[in-house]
Amino acid sequence: MSDIGEENDILAYGSIFCYILEMCGIIGYIGKKQALPILLKGLRDLEYRGYDSAGIALINDGKIERVREVGKVDMLVKKIDGHKFPGNIGIAHTRWATHGGVTEKNAHPHIAGEGKLVLAHNGIIENYRELKKKVKGPFESETDTEILAKWIFLNYKGDLSQAVKKALLSVRGTYGLAVMHADHPDEIVAARLGSPLVIGIGKDEYYLASDVTPIIPYTKQVTYLDDGEVAVINRKDLKIFNLKDEQITKGITKIDWNTEKAQKGGFETFMLKEIFDQPTVFEDAIRGRIDMKEGTAKLGGLNMSPEEMQKIKRIILIACGTAFYACMAARYAFERLSGIPTEVDVSSEFRYRDPIVDEHTLIFAVSQSGETIDTIMALREAKRKGGVVRGIVNVVGSTIARETGAGTYIHAGPELAVASTKAYTNMVAILLLYALQFGRLHHTTVSTGQRMLQELLEIPEKINKILKNSDNIKILAKKYKDYENFLFLGRGVNYPVVLEGSHKLKEISYIHSEAYPAGEMKHGANALLSKNFPVLVVMTQNQLYEKIKSNVEEVRARKSEIIVIATESDKSAKELSDDIIYVPKTMELLEPLLNTIPLQLFAYHIAAMLHRDVDRPRNLAKSVTVE
């Protein structure tokens, strides 16, 4: 992965800093066995991370042999089709593009030095332009990885590990990488900064991979590389250095996971893993997309000049399900920061209601899969009517990404559980950045912008804090799991939060639940309240705090059990509730980023205790491609 296709791209999705550290997969082998079958199986084991192309390279008879192919690993196997690639040292890579062309030339491994050196890499080289001036063309691909390969080769003076260490001293960015050189058929050099790598230790053999999944069929003994470390692996031993060339002693970890558990990162389900992925993928979503000096966002994928942005008089966010709730959560920021009237519509309604759209209307089609038919049809309708349409999408190259032609990838990585969690959080993050970018062209001041960005930077740590409370939320889940109905209440920015929380609970636990704006209760829903109808209220300390507090008093008078999500150390919320979950304080507009997380965990733990198939709830599909 790690493309630099931006300059050449027809699609203007994102910017050069759009990258995901977790997604692509590296596998390497050095030992006595034939490397090819190990590498191909390893690639298959890593496919769950997402893929669009794959490649392998082996050293045989002092020469590097390489095969790459677009598509699934099966396509690569088909291309290899019976050709023998003998050799007992090799590296391989599955790529999951974040932008830029999905082509064979962009697939890894990349070569340098007329095929002498080969490199597989996850991450991004931020100063690739600088390095590009120092190395020699021609360049086969649009990737920064190829430049890195050439840069390492330029530093090569007969010792591969020294070349890697020296080259990396002047690299800015992130990497998990594996390098081989035809003249060193006994050595793989690996390095890590920001993108995971683990080394499996066998008898006179070593495995190298982005996670333990492809390693565990062969050995349970592993060593994790840490940031700033370089591993020099040969058949007989493994040495680990820092970039100052000092040798480091590392411990060995024993893994007792099976492949399935390893793919889930040790979690019971993909959904739980994805909930816990959120701090990391949130960082991926905002990295390189903020301009602290100007107090604004820089989402190049919008593909509009400030003058064109100024002409936008109305914004419409269209989406389905969880993506729709993400849009609702961000609407407050659009209106408050930019003053531009912003509507949110369910795609299946928008497409049939003959919407009023003109060339001053900007429509964001928001979708994790990028394949939701209702959203595709809605964006076509918006285009037909002359609107300016952009995509906010997770899956690169999906239909919505292609049909909108410009927009932003949310970089949540593959989301495999049907119930969306990390994609929601990253959608909200990107929408908030857009709201700020528009806001700064209107009445939002630089200091408000800076404050919001600072708060955004603190979100991953705050999400982590909430995740640490998962076991306490599990205890609550045990208490509440047998109720047949739930009511979720919120106001303002927390109304969409409870809609999403209630949606999650329904989807995966099959318990009936409804979400209401708390101020609306007295107009009907109060009639539902009784001892057997627990109410979950999100009442963090924002401008509507006092209002929702009195709503909760009314609920209390009707004897319902009350679970409250409140701001840390809010004692009066505790007095109002039977049970309380605290969340850290943040700026009001950012609250959905935090307040949704305990609701995801609450729904998750209830569903798990009820033995539901959490990753694949009944009657639901991950990608809804039919109307």
CB closer to ligand F6R, 142 vs 615: 615
Sheet holding 188-193, edge to edge: 110-112, 117-125, 173-181, 188-193, 229-233, 238-242, 247-248
CB closer to ligand F6R, 417 vs 466: 417
- β-pair type (253-254, 89-95): unpaired
Please, what is the minimum distance in Å from the beta carbon of residue 364 to ligand F6R?
12
Please, what is the minimum distance in Å from the beta carbon of residue 95 to ligand F6R?
22
List phi, psi (to 5°) of 490. -160, 165
Task: For residue 320, indicate whether it is catalytic.
Answer: no
Residues 6+ apart with CB under 8 A from 9: 99, 100, 101
Instruction: Considering the candidates 24, 150, 166, 264, report the single residue annotated as catalytic.
Output: 24
CA dist 475 → 28, 204, 469, 580, 601 (Å): 43, 47, 10, 12, 11
CB closer to ligand F6R, 278 vs 420: 420
CA 472, chain centre distance (Å): 26
Residue 308 CB neighbour total at 10 angstroms: 12
Which position has the token pair 């300016």?
A: 388
Please say whether the beta carbons of 402 and 13 come within 8 A: no
CB closer to ligand F6R, 76 vs 285: 285
Task: For residue 622, indicate whether it is catalytic.
Answer: yes
Please, what is the minimum distance in Å from the beta carbon of residue 623 to ligand F6R?
6
With vertex at residue 470, the alpha carbon angle to CA 529 and CA 570, rounded to the nearest 5 degrees, is 60
Give me the helices (H) in 69-143, please. Answer: 73-80, 128-134
Please, what is the minimum distance in Å from the beta carbon of residue 332 to ligand F6R?
20
Query: What is the binding site for ligand F6R (CB under 6 A)?
Result: 320-323, 367-369, 372, 375, 418-420, 507, 623-624
Q: At what angle do helices 470-480 and 591-609 cross, to 10 degrees?
A: 50
Q: How far apart are CA 502 and CA 515, in angstroms?
A: 6
Please, what is the minimum distance in Å from the beta carbon of residue 392 to ligand F6R?
10
Please, what is the minimum distance in Å from the beta carbon of residue 431 to ligand F6R?
13
With vertex at residue 226, the alpha carbon angle to CA 221 and CA 228, rounded to the nearest 5 degrees, is 140
How many helical (H) and strand (E) elements, i.e. helices and strands, does the chain have?
19, 27
Please, what is the minimum distance in Å from the beta carbon of residue 16 to ligand F6R?
26
CB closer to ligand F6R, 210 vs 322: 322
CB closer to ligand F6R, 144 vs 274: 274
Residue 82 CB neighbour total at 10 angstroms: 5
Which amino acid belongs to residue 205? E
CA dist 619 → 113, 213, 507, 599 (Å): 54, 30, 9, 22
Residues for the chain: how many in total? Answer: 627
Beta-bridge partners for 212: none
Q: How far apart are CA 198 and CA 346, in angstroms?
A: 44
CB closer to ligand F6R, 195 vs 375: 375
Please, what is the minimum distance in Å from the beta carbon of residue 321 to ligand F6R?
2
The SS3 call for residue 537 is strand
Please, what is the minimum distance in Å from the beta carbon of residue 231 to ligand F6R?
39
CB closer to ligand F6R, 259 vs 623: 623
CB closer to ligand F6R, 368 vs 425: 368
Closest by alpha carbon to 161, among 181, 176, 147, 131? 181
Active site residues: 24, 622
